[in-house]
Each structure stands twice: as structure tokens, then as C-alpha cells.
Structure 1
Amino acid sequence: MGSRLRPYMTDYGPLILDGGLATELEAQGTNLQGDPLWSARLLQTNPQAIRDAHYRFLLSGADVITTATYQASIEGFIAHLDVSSECARELLMSGVQLAKESVNRFVSDSRPTEQRRPLVAGSVGPYGAFLHNGSEYTGAYAEEMSVEELKVWHRQQVDCLAAAGADLVAFETIPSLKEAEALVELLREFPNSKAWLSFSCKDGRCISDGSLFTDAVQIANRSMQLVAVGVNCCPPALVEPLLDSARSLLSPDLSWVVYPNSGEEWDTEQGWLTSGKTSASIPELCHTWMKQGAALIGGCCRIGPAHITELRQQLKGRCSPASAV
């Protein structure tokens, strides 16, 4: 376990992350397909649905819940919600507030005998999520952008999440080395913030833009503020070979973070294809990842509260959710 993560850990083992927030929102009847803001639209239109989804993941045993800001941006809110830049900033910050309110409700309702307060991770998706054209899974846009341009784009999101008091920043589904470099550099502008950096990957060796995962880990090693580096929204079967490929390169101060999707196939026109055989499940593989050094384990798309409950039972038995702060 990386030394930077120790302040967040307990004796209960890895921190359990939540699953797919949009997956849970859709399971409760929200239609998000095709929306350029995805679940971030609900920050304005139905914040209670977000609170409730967070709460269900907390009840399932999540030690960390991630804000509904993956596809949120000042520019996106202005364009798609017709709001002012000030209102857009408030909406982005509200993602953290809603998550904190859910944590407060959970702690109050559970009346724990020991202090245990789950963490709130402020989600920052790749620039491609804003483009809403599938490029978040290829990173092709980075070829036409500079590191400075990517830093400018992400600066407002990180600033809002930090100002709202997120415990950690979650740089998620990052498809390219260039965007990773930009985020690592940008994080230095927020010296009081800690973060994890998680990549989308195309196979057991490479991130989505075709670069080696080993090179991505080397970029993470440059940061003194990252607590973990890893992968998300890839099939569970890819996690072990990816981590194995870079095991000798990971800084002793860093840990692995892993939260793959269900292993089902995504089609840009049809959505998730549920037919056919999927890869081994997260609960089936989580012990292997833990042995490889994963200290944060959860799920991404198509992973709901029931899956997180099963994951927690696999890793921690019947023990209580961990005390994080």
C-alpha cells in the first residue's frame, strides 16, 4: 500500500469504491442516454436523485463515493442548460455538496459505534467526455491539443471541486499520455488537494491512445499529490495483466486504483450490449488485484449497489465500512 494513501486507510483492507452512478440513476428510471451532460444534468434538474443514488452505494458498503461531475464543465453547463458562468460554477460545486449530504445522512442513520466517514471523490472526466463523440475512449483529440490547452480546460473543474471540499479528486477514464501529463501538472496548482489518476485501456498492455500503461504509470510517479494510479471502465479481465505489466515501476508512495466495468460491450449506437458472455466479475477477481497491491477497488459502468455489496463481502466479510477520516 502506498504511503500517501495511509491517512485514508484502516485495518479493514482496501477502500471500496462505489459503482456506476449513471448506471444506478438509470436503474431508478432516469433516462440519460444521448445526453451531452449525462448524469451531470441532474445536478440542476433532479439533485435528490443524485443524493439517493449516493446513499444506496453507501448502504451497499462503499467507503468512497464519486460525484456526478464526470461530464460536468462550465462550458457544457452554459451551452446545454443556458445558465450563467457563475451558476455553472455553483452547479459543479454542488456535486460535492450533494455527495457530502449523502455521507452525513448515512453517518447519522447508521449511528456507528466507531467514527467512520466515507470519502467524497470529485470526478473529473477527460476532455473527450465534453466532446460527447466517443473520443474519450480513443484520446484522438489530444493530438490536436497542447498540454497547456488541456490544463486550461480542466482548471475550472478542479478548482470547483477543490473549493467545494472534495476529499480527493478522481481523474477518471483518461485515454492519453498527454492529458495525463496535463492533469499531473495542473494538480500542482492545488497543493492542498490529493487525487488518483485512472486510465481507460484498450488491452492488457496499452491505454486507449495506444501508449503503454507502463508509460502512464511513469507519469503518475512524477506527482507528489497522487495517492493512486490505475484503470477504470475496462473489462475486469484486463486489470491483472495491466497491473502486472507495470508492477516494477510503481512508486512505493503510490497504490493501485481499479474499478472496471461489467465486461459487457459498449456500442455507440445501441448502448450496452447485454447479450453474450462477459468476462469474470469484479468480486471473482478482486483478491488477485488486492494481492497485486490495489488499495482502492470498485466498479464503473453497469456496476450497481448489489455488486458493491458482493465486492465488500468478498474483501471484508461482514465488517463495517471503513473509517476514512
Structure 2
Amino acid sequence: MTKFESYIESGVVVLDGGMGSELEKRHIDVNNSWWSASALIQSPDDIREIHKNYFNSGAALAITDTYQAHVKSFTDQGLSETQAYELIDSAVSLAKLGLKESDRSDGLIAGSVGPYGAYLANGAEYTGDYHLSESEFQAFHRPRIARLIADGVDVLALETMPNFAEAKALGHLLQKEFATIDAYLSFATENGDHLWDGTPLSEAVAYFESISQIKAIGVNCTSPQNILPALEKIAPNTSKKMIVYPNAGDEYDPETKRWVSQHGPINWAELVPVWQTAGASLIGGCCRTSPDDIDEIAQAITNTNQ
């Protein structure tokens, strides 16, 4: 049994929260095509410290700052391929250092694999409106996946996937070329009913039932109010563990590359037990959530399990 499998079989796993918003709180400008990955150059120590803070808040899993760290993203802006790969290496090292410096004795490192839409840097991960062939999707994702595996991540986080064709291409790529790595797959959904590209969530989830490397499946970066409807679509269509990590309920403006706040405080103590009852066993936060939110999520899980 792999390390990731042993964690998810032992109980509810608490994930970390947002990276970009935590960097913004530290006055680091992430309003660019690299988004939070730009901090790998600007301020790597802040990334390490944010990872540490999440572990100390109760997270058992850190998601590397590679969501937008595509090799092509970096080379498009003038970096060499060597420099691009070194930034991916740095992202994994910073997550590992954050764990080592935290109060936890052990934890997981998930290598973030964001969608092609994130590379486009125009908000396409919230529309799914882009089209490549399967081989083109695979050629795009292959270099980063290979490097994350070489850097020793415990699991690949195929996250915020809004496009069913891309998700299928990634699943097939793992089967064909990276057969020994565990992964989880998390879709981007507008309202918990379908992917942003229009594919019914139930259909998308069912498709991956036969891909054994994908150990958990679910949704992320959608409003907390969409999580229960999503779980109700996911649960009948999978035997895998279910993963949910919503954003804070804000809406993303692709023009300004800013989040617009439209919510009050989130009652994690009320929401998390409902999600657990619906079957979720990996729970955390995404954009605009903080270590305080993860602390509340971890406490809610502890209280539910007592």
C-alpha cells in the first residue's frame, strides 16, 4: 500500500487551503500570467512558510505551488527549460521544507497539476472552453508530471479540471506512461451538477471508475454551497474516496485577475459534518481560504469523529 493509500484508508484527510490569497496578504504581487507560481521567483520563503502554517493548522497534505507552473508558461516568458524545471523542483522542495519545519511528524506532498485553461491565464479553468486533441493535452502535461514524480511527490493532484476531454487525456497518460504514481482527480464545477464544459458531473466521475491510479475523485474551487449537490452526484457513481475543497465563495474576474468577495463568514462547523455524512473523506479549502479556515475544518472533523 502506498503512503497516499494508507492515509486515505486511515480516516478523513485534511487538505491545505489557498496559496495565492495568502501570498497577497504578504503584499506579493501575483496578478500575472504565472499567478502564485510567480512567488517561486519573488519570494520562495513565503511559500515555505505558508505550507508550514497550513500543516500547523491541521492539514495533513500540502499541494505544491505548481498549479500554474507549466514548463511552457515559464519558457513563453523567456526562461530556459532548465530554469522552468528548477522552479518545479523548488515548489516541491518548499512544500517538503514546510512539512519538516512544522509541528507534524508526517504528512503528504501532492504535486499540483492544473488544467490547460490555467496556462491560458484568461479564466478558462472557469469555462472549460478550450479544445486540444488527446495527444496535444498529453504533450502539454507530460513534462510537469514527469518532473513532479521525479521530485518525489506522494500523489498527483489533477485539480480544477473543467474540461472532460482533458481529464480523460490525463487519465490515459497516467495509465500508459506513469503507471506507478497515485493521483486524485478534482473537477471544476459551476454549480455541483456539471463540469464547466457542460459534461454532467455524474458522467465524468463514472468514467474514471476503471482507472485504478486515481484513488480519490471530487470537486474543488467551487462555492461551499455547491459541495453537497456535487457529492450527491459523485457518490452513486464511484467506489473511490471522495475529495472536496471549495473556495471561499468568491467569484473570479479573469479581466482583473482578482477575486470578488460575495459572502460572509463560512460556518465550517456546520458544513463539514454534512459533507462527511455525504461521503467526503478528503476535505480542505481552495482559493481565498486560509490557515484559520483549515484549522476550523480540522476541528470540525475531530468533533464529528469523537
For normalisation by structure 2, the TM-score amounts to 0.93
Please report how far the alpha carbon of residue 126 of structure 1 lies from its aligned counterpart in structure 2 after TM superposition.
0.4
Contact kept in structure 1, 2:160 and 2:221, CA below 8 Å: yes
Identity, in percent, stands at: 39
Report the Cα distance in structure 2 between the residues aligned to 1:194 and 1:165, rounded to whole angstroms.
12
Report the Cα distance in structure 1 between the residues aligned to 2:63 and 2:4, rounded to whole angstroms.
17
- In the other structure, the counterpart of 2:18 is 20
- In the other structure, the counterpart of 2:108 is 119
Contact kept in structure 1, 2:242 and 2:280, CA below 8 Å: yes
Comparing 63-72 with 36-45, greater Cα deviation is found at 36-45
- In the other structure, the counterpart of 2:74 is 77
Contact kept in structure 1, 2:218 and 2:234, CA below 8 Å: no
Contact kept in structure 2, 1:21 and 1:53, CA below 8 Å: yes
- In the other structure, the counterpart of 1:290 is 276
Counterpart of 1:229 (choices 217, 224, 231) is 217
Matched pairs, number: 302
Contact kept in structure 2, 1:237 and 1:279, CA below 8 Å: no
Contact kept in structure 1, 2:164 and 2:199, CA below 8 Å: yes
The question of 1:49 aligning with 2:39 is answered no
State the AA in 2 paired with 1:24.
Answer: E
Report the Cα distance in structure 1 between the residues aligned to 2:286 and 2:229, rounded to whole angstroms.
19
User: How far does the alpha carbon of each residue in 1:77-108 deviate from its partner, in whole angstroms, 9 at most, with x for none?
Assistant: 1122x2211221121122111111111112xx
| Gapped regions of structure 1 (runs ≥ 5) | 320-325
Contact kept in structure 2, 1:4 and 1:227, CA below 8 Å: no
State the AA in 1 paired with 2:135.
Answer: E
Contact kept in structure 2, 1:202 and 1:210, CA below 8 Å: no
Report the Cα distance in structure 1 between the residues aligned to 2:117 and 2:140, rounded to whole angstroms.
11
Comparing 82-91 with 302-311, greater Cα deviation is found at 82-91
Report the Cα distance in structure 2 between the residues aligned to 1:21 and 1:265, rounded to whole angstroms.
16
Alignment CA distance shift 1:179-1:278 (3 Å): farther
Report the Cα distance in structure 2 between the residues aligned to 1:4 and 1:87, rounded to whole angstroms.
30
Alignment CA distance shift 1:117-1:5 (3 Å): closer
State the AA in 2 paired with 1:101.
Answer: L
- In the other structure, the counterpart of 2:126 is 137
The question of 1:185 aligning with 2:181 is answered no
Report the Cα distance in structure 1 between the residues aligned to 2:3 and 2:42, rounded to whole angstroms.
37
Higher relative contact order (CA 8 A, sep 6+): 1
State the AA in 1 paired with 2:247.
Answer: N
Report the Cα distance in structure 2 between the residues aligned to 1:261 and 1:37, rounded to whole angstroms.
19
Alignment CA distance shift 1:184-1:190 (3 Å): same
State the AA in 2 paired with 1:264.
Answer: D
Alignment CA distance shift 1:100-1:130 (3 Å): same
Please report how far the alpha carbon of residue 219 of structure 1 lies from its aligned counterpart in structure 2 after TM superposition.
2.3
Report the Cα distance in structure 1 between the residues aligned to 2:304 and 2:207, rounded to whole angstroms.
37
| SS class of match (2:216) | strand
Contact kept in structure 1, 2:193 and 2:200, CA below 8 Å: yes
Alignment CA distance shift 1:124-1:283 (3 Å): farther
- Aligned-residue CA RMSD (Å): 2.1
Matches within 5 A, 1:1-325: 6-9=5-8, 13-33=11-31, 35-80=32-77, 82-106=78-102, 110=103, 116-142=105-131, 145-188=132-175, 189-251=177-239, 254-270=240-256, 271-274=258-261, 276-277=262-263, 281-317=267-303
| Gapped regions of structure 2 (runs ≥ 5) | none
User: How far does the alpha carbon of each residue in 1:208-242 deviate from its partner, in whole angstroms, 9 at most, with x for none?
Assistant: 11110011102221211011000000011111111
Alignment CA distance shift 1:122-1:161 (3 Å): same
For normalisation by structure 1, the TM-score amounts to 0.88
User: How far does the alpha carbon of each residue in 1:244-294 deviate from its partner, in whole angstroms, 9 at most, with x for none?
Assistant: 12322112xx110100011122223452222x4459544431111111221
Contact kept in structure 2, 1:236 and 1:281, CA below 8 Å: no
State the AA in 2 paired with 1:45.
Answer: Q
